[in-house]
Every structure is written in C-alpha cells, then in structure tokens.
Structure 1
Amino acid sequence: MEKSESISNYFSRMLPLVNQMKADGETITDQKIIRTSTLQFEYIVTSIEESRDLSTTTVDKLMGSLQVHEQRLKEKSKMVEETLQC
C-alpha cells in the first residue's frame, strides 16, 4: 500500500492480483491482504485480527472497517488543522 493511497484504491488494485493468484492455485488469505497496509493502519489491523475470525470475514467487511478508520483519521486531521488555524 502506498503511503497516500486510499483504502478503496488499495483494494481496487489488490483484489485483481489476489483473484489471479487464487486462480493459479495459491493460498491467499484476507489476513495477508490487510497486513500489507501502511503503518497508519497497523493498530486497526491488529484489532481486526484479534477481534474477528478472518477465515469467515469477507473482504468487503475488512475493507469497510478500514475505510471507517481512514475516514476518522481524515476527520481528526481536518479538526487539528482547523484548530491550528484559529
């Protein structure tokens, strides 16, 4: 994952690769996909790994959780910028 890349762009880029690897017979788990995210998502990835059964969690649910976290980071960053401008 690129540092400034959004979660939706990341998953859009990764899913075709993962699907091709699965079609070629490789075993790719959702856990491997989320582990390639950037450091800013490290603690949410850890939380997801500890709180969910990744063998039954869909890619859509993982992506949704990461997108919610991404949105909160953006809102917090915007709030800090507005505070500093005051």
Structure 2
Amino acid sequence: MNTDLLIIYIRNSRDIYALTEWLQNALLKKVNRGLTPSVEYLANCSTMKKIVRMAAKMLSDQDHKTATKQEKEQAAREHAAYIIGCVEYLSKF
C-alpha cells in the first residue's frame, strides 16, 4: 500500500516532477545516441534515489507512514519503467 502512495507523491509533486523531467531528458539524449535503457539501472541511479527519498519524506510527513526498503525499491522500479516508456515514446518523434 505504501508503494502506491509513494508513486502518487512521485507523480504529483512539482519538485519531484522537475527531477523526473530532467532525468527523462538526460535519458532521451542517451537513447538518441544508441543506448538501450534498463529499468534496474535507472531505478538505482542517484537521481532516482533522490526522487524516492523525497517521496518517502512526503509519505512520512503527510500520512505518518514509513515506507520499507522493499516499497521504496518497488516504487523506484515502477517509476523507472514509467520514465523509460515516456522516453521510448518521445524517441519516435
């Protein structure tokens, strides 16, 4: 359940959106140069870890819940897959 809340905070926070957009643009440049992105690689990058930390802090502050390590990892993988999907879509244009 906390994973779903983390995803909601990740997708609806302005500060996190700015980081996501930056990460998406950086990944798009790499894809245009021939890189094939990996969900695991993106889920473990420092920017994604920062995004998940920010969402976990929001979860703690607003819902008074603590996300487990597994929930944070799952949220990072889901968000990484979302970003890769967006990049794949954008790279077609």
Tell me if both proteins adopt one fold, taking TM over 0.5 as the criterion. Answer: no
Higher relative contact order (CA 8 A, sep 6+): 2
State the structure with more CA Rg: 1
TM range (shorter): 0.3 to 0.5
- Per the normalisation by structure 1, the TM-score is 0.36
Which structure carries more helix by proportion?
2
